[in-house]
A and B are shown apart, each in its own frame.
Chain A
Amino acid sequence: MGRLLLLAGVVLIPLTALILLIKRITRSMAERFQQTPSPFPSLKGMLMFLLPLPVLFAAIAALGRGSLDGLIGNAAGYGLFLAGALLLRRGLLSEVEYDRRRVARTPWPFKTLGGTVVALATSVTAWLGADHHPAIAVAFGLAALLGCYLSYGFDPRTAKRFTDSEGVDVTDRVLEALAQAERGITAIEHATRDIRNAELNGRLRRIAALARQILTLLEEDPRDLRRARKFLNVYLDGAKQVTEGYAKTHGRVSAPELEDNFRRVLITIEEVFAEQQQKLLESDVSDLDVQIEVLTTQLKREGVV
């Protein structure tokens, strides 16, 4: 009876996890048809998901054989490998984000943590799964830790700070403004799911994409933040409130006037956002023009040209 219960538990837990996973995948597939398609997910750190797969098969083989020791050892090893791979991948992705930005806080040390957990997983697998001596298992772990360090490196340890023209450190203010803008865009995208009009949804998607492009420009050069303050505080916030309000109301009341008004507002917002993006791009071009002019003058003065 006890064995039957254990077997039922062992079968039911992965089955439930599988069902939850399938539900999540189908939901995200359904959302994909409503939202702009995201870029292909990065393959960074995928090796750490693939290499330990034999440990999973070893755990399944131990289960089939009825060996509790083997099952616990291999399952613990594979669980740790999975946790380490997830941490490592998260660290690698946050490092990409850190490198892309000109202003960034010190990221959480996910890579270091992931490498340590992978090393621990290797030791546990070598000791409990492969029946090695504990000292040899530790050597396996150390080799994995060194490999992770050499291959992926450790996390960045310094924040990328930004000071304005008066020499004041405004890093936190810049990051807070960017995070707030990102929350606004996410709220617009979220509200789009409740609107059942393909044309309005298309406009909202274009608006969200434009807003993201503007945010990318601001992240690359936070000096533009002062110029874009009106965009962040007035238009983006207004767009979010109007969209959320419309998404709530139009499900309950069918009013063609409301739809027309909302369409007009969206057209204006789209124009304003496109104008804002153009202004930021033009300011980059004029900055470059000034730099080229200064360099040419200097070269002429020194008799090079």
Chain B
Amino acid sequence: MPDFLRKFIGLLLIVAAVGVASCQALMVSCSSGATAVSSSLLR
């Protein structure tokens, strides 16, 4: 496999795994916060 292609695929995998996991963690954190705020407002 050419060096450039190997590095490109590696970068894609890193962005896919690390980036997606990080953004999902942020979304989960923020969405549960929003749910908590809305439920407290409803009460």
Contact = CB atoms under 8 A, between A and B. Distances in A.
Our verdict on whether A and B bind, yes or no, reads yes
Interface of A: 47-48, 51-55, 57-59, 61-62, 64-65, 67, 70, 73-74, 77, 81, 118, 121-122, 125-126, 129-132, 140-141, 143-144, 146-152
Nearest to A84: B18
Contacts of B18: 48, 51-52, 81, 118, 121-122, 144, 147
B10 A61 contact: no
A119 B29 CA distance: 21
Contacts of B36: 65
Contacts of A57: 26, 29
B17 A147 contact: yes
A122 B11 contact: no
Interface residues of B, number: 27
Interface string B28-43: 1110110010000000
A235 to B, nearest CB: 44
Given A54-B22, A58-B29, A150-B9, 16 more contacts: A51-B19, A51-B22, A52-B18, A54-B25, A55-B21, A57-B26, A65-B32, A67-B32, A73-B25, A74-B29, A81-B18, A129-B29, A140-B17, A144-B13, A147-B12, A151-B13
Contacts of A58: 22, 25-26, 28-30
B24 A150 contact: no
Nearest to A67: B32
A118 B10 CA distance: 14
Contacts of A125: 21-22, 25
Given A70-B29, A144-B18, A130 B24 contact: yes
Instruction: Say whether chain B's binding surface is mostly helix, strand, loop, or mixed.
Output: helix
A234 B26 CA distance: 60
Contacts, number: 111
B10 A140 contact: no
A144 B26 contact: no
B15 A61 contact: no
B22 A52 contact: yes
> Which 7 pairs show the lowest CB-CB distances between chains A and B?
A151-B10, A150-B10, A129-B25, A147-B13, A130-B24, A147-B14, A143-B17
Nearest to A137: B21
A62 B29 contact: yes
Contacts of B23: 54
Nearest to A65: B33
A67 B16 CA distance: 27
Given A52-B18, A140-B17, A77 B10 contact: no
Contact of B14 (A74, A77, A151): A151
Contacts of A81: 18
A48 B13 CA distance: 12
A266 B23 CA distance: 58
Contact of B21 (A47, A140, A146, A149): A140
A65 B37 CA distance: 9
Nearest to A123: B21
